[in-house]
Amino acid sequence: MTRFKIRGEQKLSGEIRVKGAKNSILPILAAALLSDKTVVLHDLPYLIDIENMMLILQSIGCKIKREGSTMIIDPSSVTDHVIPDRYVKEIRSSIVMLGAVLARMKKAVITYPGGCEIGQRPINLHLQGLRQLGVVISESHGYLECEAPRLTGADIHLDYPSVGATENIILAASAAEGRTIIRNAAKEPEIIDLQNFINSIGGRVHGAGSNTITIEGVKRFNGTEYTIIPDRIVAGTYLVAAAITGSEITVSNVNFEHIQSIVTKLREAGCIITHSNGSVRIKSPQRLRAIEHTKTYPYPGFPTDMQALLMSMLTVAKGTSIITENIFENRFKHVPELIRMGANIRTEGKIAVIQGVPGLKGARVNASDLRGGAALVLAGLKAEGETIVDDIHHIDRGYEKLEESLRSLGADIERVEV
Ligand code: EPZ
């Protein structure tokens, strides 16, 4: 069992570099299956979710090598269309393998990805889009058995701009016959990265970043060498770490456009933020101001993945802040843990009311999901005394050695085996 041990009230300083975005890498690893030529990806962090996705690719026949932050994938000998249960249960976002395996093998079997810590996570929009592309899907005994002898382009409207459904449809449509249009598509930067990757192997995807994406199916794909965009949520996490501790730091390798909604909130709380040449500098006040109301929305709105992190810093702001979580129905599991540290938070359904307190007290707390766990670490940086964060495997899913990154900025944090 590993946990983080944090001694709070340390100021942070210095510079930290952000690596490639987890939520870009996962669909791009699936997209590598479209080609039978070698694909080289650069600037990948070491994350549990990436390891699991690599295991899935290897289990269906891909050869993969990791050399530091570079990954070399040889998808030439993909032989299997059955995606192993044990990995799907580990990482539910492996559902995007469905569109890619169908594009390559014209059939696929995958276990129904369950819900997770933050919500029920339905995939109805994924299945509806794939069926419109001509995929025959039967659901039996918890498995999705899919046949697609002939993928055909379609005009698809998504009821909700689902990130995963948009990605799955792009993956399958890239090898379909004819044109596919996705209306009310997700506009996240990770969708643009997926488009750019697919086009770099010879695909023809256009419009990502807008709500209408057009895909012209192609028959053959090439190899490529591709560098992943920086992780906007990891960048936001480091900025909030500086804000909550009243510190001044620089975060490098950031696409400033991708973090606009986060920067706006930090400035509202009294932080001074400047940027140049892909680096962002933050200077934080000794006491943050409350932020009247934050609502999570699909991009370019304030990201749900930053909700817990923003909440952790608002627990010690001056005044009352409100957060409305519009995206996932169960994404306040960090609240009782923050309360154990002395925060004053009340939740009612999807609304949280945070009364700022002068300070937090270290406590023993539990990470129950990826971003909620990271929020507890940041609260521990601020808290008086020692904080222990248990179940940190949730955090390792999306942050590469978070303790080393924060320690490099001056935090007193260590990973302890118990
Ligand atoms: C992606 O999840 C991200 N994961 C999530 O990041 C992120 O929070 C989310 O997008 C929203 O930005 C990856 O990219 C791997 P959605 P995804 O489909 O694709 C409902 C993290 O911390 N919905 O946009 O699952 C769903 O229930 C993770 O890195 C349907 O109803 O997000 C949810 O309420 C957590 N039917 C909403 O849409 C569907 O078929 C958003 O889901 C699909 C989704």
Chain segment 323-379, per-residue pLDDT in tens: 999 999 999 999 999 999 999 999 999 999 999 999 999 999 999 999 999 999 999
Give the mean pLDDT of the chain.
97
Between CA 30 and CA 105 the distance in angstroms is 13
Cα torsion through 399, 403, 406, 409, rounded to 10 = -130
Mean pLDDT of 394-418: 97
Q: Where does the pLDDT of residue 113 fall: very low under 50, low under 70, confident under 90, or very high at 90 and above?
A: confident
C-alpha distances out from residue 325 to 112, 297, 301, 355, Å: 26, 8, 12, 17
315 phi and psi, to 5 degrees?
-65, -25
pLDDT-based confidence at residue 6 (cuts at 50, 70, 90): very high
Ligand 1 atom closest to Cα of residue 120 = 27
Q: What is the pTM of this model?
A: 0.98
Count Cβ atoms within 10 A of the Cβ of residue 338 and give its class: 0-12 exposed, 13-18 middle, 19 or more buried.
Answer: buried
Nearest CA to ligand 1 atom 30: 122
pLDDT digits (tens, 9 = 90+) for 163-216: 999 999 999 999 999 999 999 999 999 999 999 999 999 999 999 999 999 999
Q: Report CA(141)–ligand 1 centroid distance (Å).
A: 24
Nearest residue by C-alpha to atom 37 in ligand 1: 327
Strand order across the beta sheet in which 279-283 lies: 15-17, 248-252, 279-283, 272-276
The one catalytic residue in 62, 116, 146, 271 is 116
pLDDT of residue 114: 76
Which tokens belong to 250? 């620089």
Q: How far apart are CA 243 and CA 403, in angstroms?
A: 17
Q: Mutation test of ligand 1: which of 211, 327, 334, 400 has the most ligand atoms closer than 8 Å to its C-beta? A: 327
In the DSSP assignment, the letter for residue 211 is S
- The domain ranges of the chain are 2-18+230-417, 22-227
| Ligand 1 atom 17, closest CA | 164
Q: How far, in Å, from the CA of 166 to the mean position of ligand 1?
A: 10
Ligand 1: lining residues by beta carbon, under 6 Å: 22-23, 26, 93, 119, 121-126, 160, 162-165, 186, 304-305, 327-328, 370-371, 398
191 and 166 Cβ atoms separated by less than 8 Å: yes
165 Cα to the center of ligand 1, angstroms: 9
Q: Which CATH superfamily does the domain covering 22-227 fall into? A: Enolpyruvate transferase domain (3.65.10.10)
Q: Considering the domain 2-18+230-417 in this protein, what is its CATH number?
A: 3.65.10.10
Residue 22 pLDDT > 90, yes or no? yes
* Residue-wise pLDDT tens digits, 73-95: 999 999 999 999 988 888 888 99
Closest CA to 207 of 412, 39, 198: 198
Could you tell me whether strands 279-283 and 248-252 are parallel, antiparallel, or unpaired per DSSP bridges? antiparallel
30, pLDDT greater than 90: yes
Query: Given the structure tokens 């948009």, which residue do they identify?
Result: 166
For residue 135, what pLDDT band results from cuts at 50, 70 and 90? very high
**Intrachain domains 2-18+230-417 and 22-227 with the same fold:** yes
Which tokens belong to 128?
């509806």
Which residue has its alpha carbon closest to ligand 1 atom 9?
163
- Of 177, 213, 175, 208, nearest to 99 (Cα)? 175
Instruction: Determine the distance separating the centroid of ligand 1 and the alpha carbon of 213, expressed in angstroms.
Output: 18
Confidence of residue 1 (pLDDT cuts 50, 70, 90): confident
How far away, in angstroms, is 26 Cα from ligand 1 center?
13
Average pLDDT over residues 122-139: 97
116 in catalytic set? yes
